[in-house]
Amino acid sequence: MLKDYLLPESTTKVVSLLDNCNGQARIIAGGTDLLLDLPDGKVATECLIDISRIAELKEISLEDGIIKIGAAVTHNQVAKSDLIREKAPALASAAGSVGSYQIRNSGTVVGNVVNAQPAADTAVALVALGASADIVSSGGNITVPVEKMYAGVGKSIVDSTAQLVTCVKFPAALANEGSAFVRLEQRKALALPMLNVAVMVSLKEGKFEWVRICMAPVGPGPVRATAGEDILRGAKVSPELINEAAQAAVKQANPRSSALRGSKEYRTGVLPALVAKALESAVAGAMEINK
Amino acid sequence: MDNKILKFSLNGELKEVIVSPSDMLVDVLRDKLNLTGTKKGCGKGECGACTVIMNGEAVNSCLVPAMKAMDAEVETIEGIGSPERLHPLQETFMDLGAIQCGFCTPGMIMSSKALLDKNPNPGKKEVREAISGNICRCTGYVKIEEAVLAASGKYKTKR
């Protein structure tokens, strides 16, 4: 039963509150997922610690080539940020796809990652961008790649009764890099993704220097298509090779049949087209910046 | 249960109300402050009927803990116009038949107002994005979109 609701104004205070409450308190940011889980009994806590008014967590910043998104930054802030649209278009697009406009005004990108749903749009984009998260607790501070933050379906390695993720961070795209996010959905708003794909590419002299391909929901969390990435690395950019990589990507995907998301057969069939589309779009982005 | 005193600005007036830590803003508005213009539809952030404007942004008040409104500025459908002096959106929704049963209307209008307050001259795309979290089960969205676009014209002259 919820007994208290606290509104601390610094991360230091949050950490000491978590410590004092000894597992009986839990972090709330936007709350758009948590507030559904509490009445359902999926999560129980005596105290919510609201981080949404901590100034240092409300910022999107760029310093020494690293973009940081604070834990209280909403999806709409990210989707509408000129910095993110220019330097991490995959993330801007993913953040703009989550829930509805109202949900995006409340829900946070970091919350999307910590909630750890298999197809969390921004987690998929962040993995493609090579992002990691800063996590603080009384036990010490750690930095973990977003890719390693999933402990299972809907399970994060982050214990929100003891730890606070302060930000996610990733390198801003260089002139020869591009990223893109593609989503298959039943309708254009308030629809869960049937499939989502994010990629980031680095080009050098007409060749792929490196590529990250991330797909979901085809496993417990965002899944890297490393076989597809290997095909592209060091190779000349061409539609044929992109298609070959897209076909290879499917071999690492394991979609389940779902009434909500479509059959395994359908989603397996359409996934290569999405991967190819994302790669083409990211390549176009990398070349555009070059101009 | 430790009750708390919530202080916030509601439609331009400072309010103090006793809330429980588990109260949602929509319930405080409707049951404690008797502002029943804000509708509670799904209670899960899927229908948008409970949309209010908090600190300038449209939010689902069914997914906002009342305590999140502490020190905030909240606007509801009751605060945007009066029977004598309707808000432009209220006028155009009526004039253009953008209302049928009316249950979604307060939410539709609050989402649209949040848009027009920031962007008095939106295009169709912006209008559709702004009301993408508001579900109407009667009239459809064409007339609503037309009403919002028509209100944007009046906005410029009235403000």
For B63, the closest of A31, A50, A190 (CB atoms) is: A31
Given this model, what pLDDT does residue B110 score? 98
Q: Which of B51, B79, B107 is the last residue of a domain?
A: B79
Q: Which domains, from first to last, does chain A contain?
A: 4-171 (3.30.465.10), 177-290 (3.30.390.50)
Distance from the B91 Cα atom to the nearest Cα atom in chain A, whole angstroms: 24
Q: Residue B52: exposed, middle, or buried by beta-carbon count in 10 A (0-12, 13-18, 19+)?
A: buried
Residues B105, B73 share a domain? no
Per-residue confidence (pLDDT) for residue B1, from 0 to 100: 60
Query: B63 contacts in A (CB within 8 Å)?
Result: 31-32, 35-36, 103, 106
B8 and B73 in one domain?
Answer: yes
pLDDT at A109: 98
B120 plus B66 within the same structural domain: no
Cross-chain Cβ contact A3/B64 below 8 Å: no
> Chain B residues with CB inside 8 Å of A188's CB?
132
Residue A71, φ and ψ in degrees, nearest 5 = -70, -15
Predicted pLDDT of residue A32: 96
Are B38 and B100 contained in the same domain? no
- Find the closest chain B residue to A30 by CA distance: B64
Residues B93 and B133 in one domain: yes
* Segments of chain A with pLDDT less than 50: 290-291
Nearest to B51 by CA among B114, B7, B96: B114
Q: Please report, for the domain that includes residue B112, its CATH number.
A: 1.10.150.120
CA angle (A96, A98, A101) in 5-degree steps: 70
Contacts of B156 (CB under 8 A, 6+ apart): B120, B121
What is residue A170's predicted lDDT score, i.e. its pLDDT? Answer: 98
- Give me the pLDDT at residue A291, please: 43
Q: Which residue of B has its CA nearest to A40?
A: B44
pLDDT at position B157 is 54
Same domain membership, residue B73 and residue B11: yes
Are the Cβ atoms of B59 and A105 closer than 8 angstroms? yes
pLDDT at A116: 95
Q: From first to last of its 159 residues, what are the pLDDT tens digits of chain B?
A: 689 999 999 999 999 999 999 999 999 999 999 999 999 999 999 999 999 999 999 999 999 999 999 999 999 999 999 999 999 999 999 999 999 999 999 999 999 999 999 999 999 999 999 999 999 999 789 999 999 999 998 876 554
What residue spans of A59-207 are helical by DSSP H?
Answer: 75-80, 82-87, 89-95, 101-106, 109-115, 121-128
Report how far apart the first and last C-alpha atoms of chain B are (Å, whole number).
Answer: 46
Chain B residues 71-110 within an 8 A CB cutoff of chain A: none
Contacts of B134 in chain A (CB under 8 A): 100
- Domain of residue B22, CATH code: 3.10.20.30
In this structure, the answer to whether residues B39 and B68 fall within a common structural domain is yes
Asked if B57 lies within 8 A of A76 by C-beta distance, the reply is yes
- Smallest Cβ distance to B21: which of A3, A32, A189? A3
Q: Is B65 on the interface with A (CB under 8 A)?
A: yes
Asked if B94 and B154 sit in the same domain, the reply is: yes
Task: Establish if A159 touches chain B: CB-CB under 8 angstroms.
Answer: no
Same domain, B72 and B16: yes
**Do residues B95 and B150 both lie within one domain?**
yes
Residues in A closer than 8 angstroms to B2, CB to CB, are 3-4
B139: containing domain? 88-158
Question: Number of folded domains in chain B?
Answer: 2
CB contact under 8 A, A190 and B24: no
pLDDT confidence of residue A40: 87
Residue ending a domain, choose from B50, B79, B108: B79
Q: What pLDDT score was predicted for residue A288?
A: 80
Among B16, B51, B79, the domain-final residue is: B79
Here the ipTM equals 0.95
Q: B73 and B10 in one domain?
A: yes
Chain A 10-29, residues with CB within 8 Å of chain B CB atoms:
28
**Shared-domain flag, residues B148 and B116:** yes
The pLDDT value recorded for residue A239 is 96
pLDDT value of position A41:
87
Instruction: Check: CB of residue A128 under 8 Å from CB of residue A199.
Output: yes
**A38 interaction partners in chain B (CB closer than 8 Å):** 22
